[in-house]
Chain A
Amino acid sequence: MQTSTATASFESPPIDAVGVEERVARLCSRSIKKDAKLQALHLTLSMIDLTTLEGADSEGKVRQLCAKALQLHAALPDLPHVAAVCVYPALVGVAKRALEGSGINVASVATSFPAGQAPIEIKLLEVRKAVEAGADEVDMVISRGRFLAGDFAYTSDEIASVKEACGEAHLKVILETGELGTLDAVRRASDLAMRSGADFIKTSTGKIKPAATMPVVLVMLEAIRDHYLRTGEKIGMKPAGGISTAKDAIRHLVMVRETLGQDWLDPDLYRFGASSLANDVLRQIVKQRSGIYQSFDDFSL
């Protein structure tokens, strides 16, 4: 593994936590209604990484999830499809076969998700296996222990080697912000990930609370903006964990639009990692079109 101490030696700007909270509170007070709301809901659907990451996942469960991805709601055939289905490496093949020809990507978590506590060789092998099985996107976790201990060079090298192992596949780097403690650490980890080759930065595994809180996402979006202004590279963002309602999702879209601009309102640059968000969005779309409040019972799992 090449050492990239140079990549890791830079300063991240300090974060004004109170200012972030205030900015988030102001952005959350926007009122998005009627046609704009419907448009935002459709956009949200097209940005969802439909996810199942349970120990109990089976081939059947993944096939069912893929069927859901292919047809979100039978009564509304004109809906956009989700961006990707996200599964464990062992189930990538199943998902790939089920989604063939649909335009929906298969994403796989790798690098000993969610803890990331495994030797680097094993992590890289896992990434290669996932890509071999057909994963279009790889979601890696960083070694939070090494990062928090200040070993930024290690984190940077780790991301760079995983990126290399990914080959053509897109790399999303999970920072697991719930374990990083401060917004300053979130900013530092974001900068590090982007400089080391991440195509996307992602908040969380979904296994730790708090996950994708608004302040954390705002700090990461600002890091992406600064990276873009510095290098011209557009890095994607994926909040994951804890976003379960359409209302939350729309608030995120407002924040993206205000921080990064229109370009990022695109499934290629913004994703939601979620398992139950899709059905709430569907519920709101049907409500918006019919005027009648909907029941979760009317939507497939």
Chain B
Amino acid sequence: MSERRPAAAADRLPVLKTHKVYVAGKFPRSESGRFDRALAPDGTPIANICRCSRKDVRDAVTAARAAQAGWAARTAYNRGQILYRIAEMLEGRSGQFEALLAAGGTAPDEAAVEVQASTDRLLHYAGWTDKFQQVFSSVNPVATSHFNFSILEPMGVVGVLAPESPLLGLVSSIAPAIAGGNTTVVLVTGGQPLPATTFGEVLNSSDVPGGVVNILTGRRDEMLAPLAAHRDVDALLLCSPDPDVARSAEIEAVHNLKRAAVRPHEDWADVQSPYEITDLQEVKTTWHPIGS
């Protein structure tokens, strides 16, 4: 029997994957039909990615809105289980993510560290889902005959401008948002979109209900303004070191006074804290009359 070997690269046309976007638990292409090339640092094309339009943004917001009430109604414990499940699936595909990061120019050993850190970050927020309420809610002393308490509620639909950091930054921005019961529309506009689109595949096989995380790829100047201005988006998480980018989005966001949290970090190794969750929570204070 003759020995079978893979063909040398020169003898075969490579099959470039089209990385599709992740919306409402499905993997559609952009409604616009447009695509961009994802390039290796030396300029060779390594994949095709969708170049989404503002209509894709609109559809993603619709999906996120539809999923929000159900996701927030899950028990905090169950959200933690699902975040843990994402970590399990990411761990299982760590080799693939290391290869994607390496193809984008990350050194192999750094890539391995980044994938591990991303998995650990998911575990961190998985643990916090049913604990941050205990830490940050309060019973407040008041001078009247009221039982007065404050609890945290998710803001709703959070628009996320994903950071340049292709995996760790992405995970660090999505995890705290969904841990607290929000749903997200994530714009991936950096130079390395492939870990993000592949992370969509991880989410889809991790019991995350469709619409809780929606990942769009494309160009920032086409997608950010419509997302920031969209009146059905309740909050923004703007991960960009460029203050002008965050500022322009915040100006668009005034229409419905949505909250904007800005994350200018370039290194996401230490961006891990329950305050990342509470920044995307609204405080509800209740005055409950009690008998005198």
Tell me the minimal C-beta distance from B110 to chain A in angstroms. 39
Whether the Cβ atoms of A294 and B229 lie closer than 8 Å is no
Tell me the minimal C-beta distance from A266 to chain B in angstroms. 31
Interface residues on B, range: 10 to 19
Taken residue by residue from 266 to 301, chain A's Cβ proximity to chain B (1 for < 8 Å, 0 otherwise) reads as 000000000000000000000000011111111000
Whether the Cβ atoms of B230 and A297 lie closer than 8 Å is no
DSSP class of A's interface residues: helix, strand, loop or mixed?
loop
Chain B contacts of A294 at CB under 8 A? Answer: 231-232
Tell me the minimal C-beta distance from B141 to chain A in angstroms. 34
B209 at the interface (CB under 8 A from A): no
Chain A contacts of B61 at CB under 8 A? Answer: 293
Chain A contacts of B229 at CB under 8 A? Answer: 291-293
Whether the Cβ atoms of B255 and A295 lie closer than 8 Å is no
Chain B contacts of A296 at CB under 8 A? Answer: 232
B256 at the interface (CB under 8 A from A): yes
B226 at the interface (CB under 8 A from A): yes
Tell me the minimal C-beta distance from B183 to chain A in angstroms. 14
Chain B contacts of A292 at CB under 8 A? Answer: 229-231, 255
Taken residue by residue from 34 to 65, chain B's Cβ proximity to chain A (1 for < 8 Å, 0 otherwise) reads as 00000000000000000000000110010000
Q: Cα distance A298–B57 when bound, in Å? A: 19
Q: Cα distance A9–B247 when bound, in Å? A: 73
Tell me the minimal C-beta distance from A26 to chain B in angstroms. 19
Whether the Cβ atoms of B256 and A293 lie closer than 8 Å is no
Whether the Cβ atoms of B256 and A295 lie closer than 8 Å is yes
Closest residue of chain A to B58 (Cβ to Cβ) is A293
Closest residue of chain A to B227 (Cβ to Cβ) is A293
Taken residue by residue from 213 to 245, chain B's Cβ proximity to chain A (1 for < 8 Å, 0 otherwise) reads as 000000000000010011110000000000000
Ordered by A's residue number, 6 sampled pairs between the chains whose C-beta atoms are within 8 Å are A291-B229, A293-B58, A293-B61, A293-B230, A294-B231, A297-B232
By Cβ-Cβ distance, the 10 closest A-B pairs, closest first, are A295-B232, A295-B231, A293-B230, A292-B229, A294-B231, A293-B58, A292-B255, A298-B231, A292-B231, A293-B231
Q: Name A residues whose Cβ lies closer than 8 Å to a Cβ of B.
A: 291-298
Known: A292-B229, A293-B230, A295-B231. 14 other contacts (CB 8 A): A291-B229, A292-B230, A292-B231, A293-B57, A293-B58, A293-B61, A293-B226, A293-B231, A294-B232, A295-B230, A295-B256, A296-B232, A297-B232, A298-B231
